[in-house]
Amino acid sequence: MSTVHPFEWFLINAAREFRDGEVTFVGFHWPMVAARIARHLHAPDLVVVYECGIVEDRLTPQLSTSPSDLRAAVGAPMCGGSMDALYSWLGRGRVARTFLEAPIVDRRGNVNTTVVGDYDRPTVRLPGSGGGTELGSLGRGLVLLSTGDRARAYPERVDYVTSPGHLSGPGERERLGYPAGRGPEVLLTPLGRLTFDSREGFVPAALRPGVSWQEARACFRWLREEPGELSELPEPTAEEVAATRHVLREAREMRYRLPADLPA
């Protein structure tokens, strides 16, 4: 097998999180790509709910560019509206797992897609929430996907909480009235898979082969002590690599912005 690019590793790792036949709420961008890879592999009967109200229960002829892209509606059993998706499906707990892109995320899973720096005079103004606030607030089994491999994507505390994670610490979500038993559980990055610990925040569960603890510590600066034993992610199979590269070719055709060094 040819060398697997870290971004391909990231998508394969994300695709492994999807479960066949499960009702899953999928947010914009890389979660959509990962769900499509999973459909090609082990989850052909995955049921995907998009924030615009489309429910997708099969592999569509083309990759969608966004949740509002009507390519996702081809053969769909339901085409509703955002209120249907965010409250009738997500809010009422009819979704087993939720996938949300998290370009800037802190140790407690709070996601910033609003501003970098001061809100009134930001260094960078970001695109905003979309449905991300509802996904962070209401989503069951929340999995965050971040393509960042530098510390700036993983601050101790985000400048602005667009999508709430576990906020400042244990019990704060419940105190503020968020549904019990929700909040981010998994963070997937090109370096590996992290899981949430109520005391420490996100901690590595398994790193990509070849990634050292020192590299992880340099990226996730909130990490305290090296664990006694740290697992490695399972090597991708030839089938996983082939499916991922097939979907990435579709993404390139649909003008997704891919890493510059990703093989064509």
Show which residues are catalytic.
51
User: How far, in Å, CA of 158 to CA of 31, rounded?
Assistant: 21
- Contact of 81 with 53, CB cutoff 8 Å: yes
CA angle 192, 193, 196 (to 5 degrees): 140
Per-residue exposure over 5-18, b if at least 16 CB sit within 10 Å of its own CB, e if not: bbbbbbbbbbbbbb
Task: Write the DSSP symbol of residue 75.
Answer: T
**Angle ∠(139,28,154) on CA atoms, nearest 5:** 75
Instruction: Please give the Cα distance from 123 to 126 (Å, whole number).
Output: 10
